[in-house]
Structure 1
Amino acid sequence: MSSVPPDLVEGAAPSEASPLPAESARRPLSRVAFVTGATLLAFVVVTGMALSTLVGTRMLAPSDLWGVVTRFSAEDDAHLILLHTRIPRTILAVLAGAALGAAGVVMQSLTRNPLAEPGILGVNAGSALAVAVAIAVFGVIQPAGYFLFALGGAASAGVLVLLLGGVRRGSDPVRLVLAGAALSVVLGALAQIVIVNADDLLFDRYRNWIVGSLQGRGLDVLIPTLVLIGVGVILALTLARSLDAVSLGDDASRALGVRPARVWTLAGTAVVLLSAGATAAAGPVAFIGLTAPHVARRWVGSDHRRMLPAAMLLGAGLVLVADVAGRVVALPGEVGVGIMAALIGGPVFVAIARHRRMALL
């Protein structure tokens, strides 16, 4: 019988197989600090949801939101805006952010790469190509139509990357990353070919989707997104203990009775469901799947049973903040949530990369 891996000995320094060595050694916050942080974050998310329902080209009052619950009227414009536009958009922002946060945690654990994010599986490129074809070839103009094509493209690209990365033969982070990068380049080039040969109107439609936006999303997009992301979240949470073992490396996970190939297949499926659902609903939204897992890891530690919910809550808050900020900075126009998320997450990415570089010196 093999000896217990040094990673599992209390107080021992993490081995090279352990992911994120500098951060895995960091102790989680105390119970008081954790409860305080969770309360503050929950307050931010709830406040963001309230602002998301009230802020926009037409500003609404809190009484309008309360009126939808207590005395809804189909003749009240404010009530119709809230029911058919603002409330579904707010819930979609929460779902997309939570999905990207959870997918980022799983990807970083599987690849043992602190800078991994859901786009590694090629879901963004697959969605972009599918939407480009939908607009240029089939003349799709409705968000619900974009959703169906984007979902199919993202899921197909994710599954293809998993197959090319050899997930059935076991875990190989390098092979998976290379397969995802190569497929993303190819699919991105094909999307450019389709769009470059389209007319200006079709190009404008594609441009509005590719920057990432929740504008115009309603109940027809909300319901399938909820189902898809819900299944992905349940699968990811079910695999939390196994991800703890797999993140230590293949030898350590086998010693703990975990089959790496099985975990990789199921976890890869969860990432595809989560990423495809979020991308299909909101378009490509960068940095959320990278930023939320890092903040969650520093906040609650590396236990996936705590890190997954924390990253989901952080991701939901970040997308809400980005979406609300995008509606405020360019009134009466709007800046896409993908652009605002990049503006918010970019500096965080630089700080993370700088911290990692300094930690390795």
Structure 2
Amino acid sequence: MHSKRNRNPKLLAGLATGVAVLLFVMLFSVLRGIQSFGVRELWQAYALFDGSNEHLLISTVRMPRTLIAAAVGASLAMAGVIMQVLTRNPLASPSVFGINAGASLCVVAALVLYGSSLTIGGMIPIALAGAAVTAVIVFVLGSLGGGKLDTARLTLAGASIAAFSASLTSGLILLNGQALEDALFWMIGSVSGRKLEHLQQVLPYMSLGWLVALGIGPSLNVMALGDDNAKGLGMRLKLVQSLAAAAVILLAGSSVAAAGPIAFVGLMVPHVCRAIAGEDHRWLLPYSAVAGALLLVGADLLSRFVLMPREVPVGIATALLGVPFLIAIARRRKHD
């Protein structure tokens, strides 16, 4: 009992430490790059803005990309936690289950139709619709043959839809050379070149997704016990599943609209955070949000220095980390 009582203060201290580290890395991300600044220049860029190149670089380039990386990282990580409970599959994430790919397909189709006139405000509902349609298709395919979600069918359905969406996306790009540059820049997954307006336009959807995810945290603990046990404990299973799916769509769709299809954040972060925070989703969700933000901000920061003065898109950096992580989890499941 004593150790149980002391667990929450330890978890709270760990979360506070994570937030402090995240804020430090975000500050470092704003200040460091091809051109580096000090804290004084950062303060002057907002308190004594004079329109200089340095102040413009800080306020219109570095700060927006850092804030967007943090928001997208947190959203994808939380979406991954929810999907792994919803599907009872440790390999589940928005990228692995094709939700990112479906959202990407719809956005690329819109880019082909409307070209550079398509704004981030226009991308948001398109990405959300693509994420929603893909999620419904994957879950319907995963439920065929018995009415209940089957983990193996769900995984195969997600992988198939992801491959199908990626093929259609590539075909659209190849057939429409005019939209090629815009589509490729967006599809590679990057927070570079994004503006503060991008974050302002996706933030309402992300915030709603965060609130829904945190609100269903206690219910996710019950859902993890299995459908029959959850119903036996009086949980309204369909309602919670619907809210969980809505949270994933909001979080994944808005992330794709803001930064393109960044893969593997939702796969890696929940596993790392479970080792620290345990299985209680009231703690796992906020831990994953902080860790996801930290991962993406850190990956974006490191991507500036790998091939300096050129930058590696952050989507490539997360893929390089995520593929061996996915293989390691798959191998561990095979041996369990």
Matches within 5 A, 1:198-217: 198-199=176-177, 202-217=179-194
Find the partner of 1:180 among 158, 170, 180. Answer: 158
1:59-99 deviations in Å (ceiling 9; x for gaps): 333221121343233x2222222222221211111110110
Structure 1 residue runs of 4+, over 6 Å off?
A: none
CA distance in 2, matches of 1:132, 1:233: 26
Contact 1:143-1:217 within 8 A present in 2 as well: no
Determine helix, strand or coil for the equivalent of 1:214: coil
Instruction: Report the Cα offset of residue 40 of structure 1.
Output: 4.3
1:38 equivalent to 2:15? Answer yes
User: Scaled by the length of structure 1, what TM-score is found?
Assistant: 0.82
Whether 1:60 and 2:37 are equivalent positions in the alignment is yes
Structure 1: stretches of 5+ with no match in the other structure: 1-26
Equivalence for 2:325: 348
Asked if structure 2 preserves the Cα contact closer than 8 Å seen for 1:131 and 1:146, the reply is no
Distance between the aligned counterparts of 1:171 and 1:258, measured in 2? 17
1:113 aligns with 2:98: no
Secondary structure of the structure 2 residue equivalent to 1:212: coil
Q: Equivalent residues in 2 for 1:122-161 (5 A)?
A: 122-140=98-116, 144=120, 147-148=123-124, 149-161=126-138
RMSD: 2.8
| SS of 2:261 mapped into structure 1 | coil
The one-letter amino acid paired with 2:113 is V
Answer whether contact 1:171 1:260 (CA < 8 A) is retained.
Answer: no
Residue aligning to 1:285: 262
Counterpart residue identity of residue 86, structure 1: R
Q: Which residue pairs with 1:260 in the alignment? A: 237
Q: 1:293 to 1:191 in 2, by over 3 A?
A: same
Q: Which amino acid aligns with 1:329?
A: V
Whether contact under 8 Å (1:123, 1:275) holds in the other structure is yes
CA distance in 2, matches of 1:146, 1:335: 27
Structure 2 SS opposite 1:137: helix
- Following superposition, the deviation at residue 52 of structure 1 comes to 1.7
The structure that is helix-richer by fraction is 2
The normalised TM-score by structure 2 is 0.88
Q: Which amino acid is the alignment partner of residue 283 of structure 1?
A: G
d(CA) in 1 for partners of 2:128 and 2:20?
32
1:90-133 residue CA offsets vs partner (Å, 9 max, x unmatched): 11111101101110110001111111112355322222222322
Could you tell me which amino acid in structure 2 is paired with residue 303 of structure 1?
Answer: D
Q: Secondary structure at the match of 2:73?
A: helix
Note if contact 2:269-2:292 (Cα within 8 Å) is conserved in structure 1.
yes
Q: Pick from 60, 63, 79: which aligns with 1:87? A: 63
Letter in 1 for 2:114: F
Q: How does 1:72-83 map to 2 (within 5 A)?
A: 72-73=49-50, 75-83=51-59
* Conservation of the 8 A alpha-carbon contact between 1:90 and 1:320: yes
Label 1:299 to 1:184 Cα distance change in 2 as closer, same or farther (>3 A).
same
Q: Deviations over 1:245-266 (max 9, x none)?
A: 1111111001111122221111
User: What letter corresponds to residue 108 of structure 2 in structure 1?
Assistant: A
- Deviation for aligned residue 1:176: 4.3
- Kindly provide the amino acid, as one letter, of the partner of residue 172 in structure 2: V
Q: Contact (CA 8 Å) 2:46, 2:59: kept in 1 or not?
A: no
Aligned to 2:77: 101
* AA matched with 1:226: L
SS of 2:92's equivalent in the other structure is: coil
Tell me, yes or no, if the aligned pair for 2:65 and 2:195 is still in contact at 8 Å: yes
1:273 to 241, 245, 250: 250
Aligned residue in 2 for 1:193: 171
CA distance 1:176–1:356, change in 2 (3 Å): closer
Larger deviation, residues 283-292 vs 134-143: 134-143
Determine the C-alpha separation between the residues in 2 that align with 1:177 and 1:43. Answer: 36
Q: 1:178 & 1:276 partners in 2: Cα distance? A: 21
